[in-house]
Structure 1
Amino acid sequence: MTETARPIGSGTVTLAVADGVATITLNRPEVLHAFNPAMGADLLEALLTVDGDGAARAVLLTGSGRAFMAGGDLAHLHGATGEERPRAANALVGAFHEIVLAMARLSKPIVAGINGVAAGAGVSMAMACDLVVMAAEAKLVMAYTGIGATPDGGSTFALPRLIGPKLAMEMLLLNEPVDAETARAWGLVNRIVPAAEVPAEAMKLAKKLAAGPTLSYARTRRLVSESLDNPLGQQLAREQEAFVANSRTHDFDEGLGAFLAKRKPGYEGR
């Protein structure tokens, strides 16, 4: 079953749900999907819609055309002068941070398809996803200090945890592009394929997740996120709570039955 992508809000984002996968596509190709408050509102609406849609059990996030996301809309900031600029900066960063939080709270796993340019906020958004498929030709660049700005989008939270403080500082201070092989070696991405194959490979992963135990995935996402700050004893307690809670689900029962019967499970996301 295929659903035609429909524009969300002002149209800077499109959404389609098919075969359990919600595909959210950034749709400002003329500016390489540079993030502005309008896109923030559209993307937040799309994420909230997906979170409440029982037919969507996994999310694929990508960009149309040749870019994933080129960062924040600098023209939007440059056009603001005097005290308008801090207000514009506050609105822009605040809108993006709402997206990062919404992604973290989502009850479904997210696959990023980095089909091209990923800079600044685009890297932050990709790092907020659970699995990342990157085009072999693409590069990641933080870019913030290159324009005299400071990092945002949770990059100073995610990068040190993913690659360690020294490599995080290298990315954030030097703004040197990180190629796909280096990104994978550092643990920033999961799969590398030619750019033309990114949509299919990312969809393949998303469909695999969509056919899985959705509630188990949701609890696993939370556990991994919480583990970054919890002491061992507290994390063990959280794992036990999650395991017991999940034992009440239909999919846990189905998984046990399938294992014992030596058959493929038929998960329903409940």
Structure 2
Amino acid sequence: MFTQNLLRNRVAELSEEERDVLEGAISVTQLYPAGHVVVRQGAPVSISTLLVSGFMTRHVDAPDGRRHLVAVHVPGDFVDLHAYALKKLDHDVGALTDIEVAVFPHASLERIQAEDPGLTRRLWFLTLLDAAMHRQWIYRLASLTAVQRVAHFLCEMNARLLAIGASDGTGFALPMTQADIGEVCGLTNVHVNRVLRELREAGLCHVRSSVVNITDLKGLTAKAMFDPEYLYLNQQTAARAVASAGAPS
């Protein structure tokens, strides 16, 4: 149940047996309110968390007090699996909304590593997928215009939510403020507002009250120069994410 979205519609999906092993490694599930910092930068950690419901972020606080979002997590993400090896993080992990997480003691992950090499490779894949998304976020900030950055981020979230059944390709909930989107895209709140208006007037998408309505997915992906290859989705989901002619209706 808790792992149903883990690697769902990815190139390398989990088997039922692997899901059973992972769920047997969960020690407890916990609820946190929006705004709660689940893991603090530099604090020793002996657990990793799988997001069951809600949205989470990873963020870095600058010396001047400004927060910088460096990742947004959706249900099914193993948010801080890399903490198993690192034992402390160089960033905070927080609840963007009210959340539920499944807790994996590192001792349980140690047993999986010793007893199930196949599942260990699946978990390793998750950390590599995480790194692939980080590289794409760097590319987005360094190489795309303001409009392209926001469009690219919206396309990514649509693709990731498509994979877990939380988007139908025409709309999805995105519980983020314009300031949050600005942190992701390296833009001011005013600039994000201007960009969202431009996307709306171009007939591509409409973002309002934490809901994204996509009116032209093919046009939006073209504007963003979005290619979902870095998300390692299966062929069908990847086609839906860009409104490919080969995607099922």
- TM bucket normalised to smaller: under 0.3
Q: Which has the higher helix share?
A: 1
Q: Which has the larger radius of gyration?
A: 1
Of structures 1 and 2, the one with the larger relative CO (CA 8 A, separation 6+) is: 2
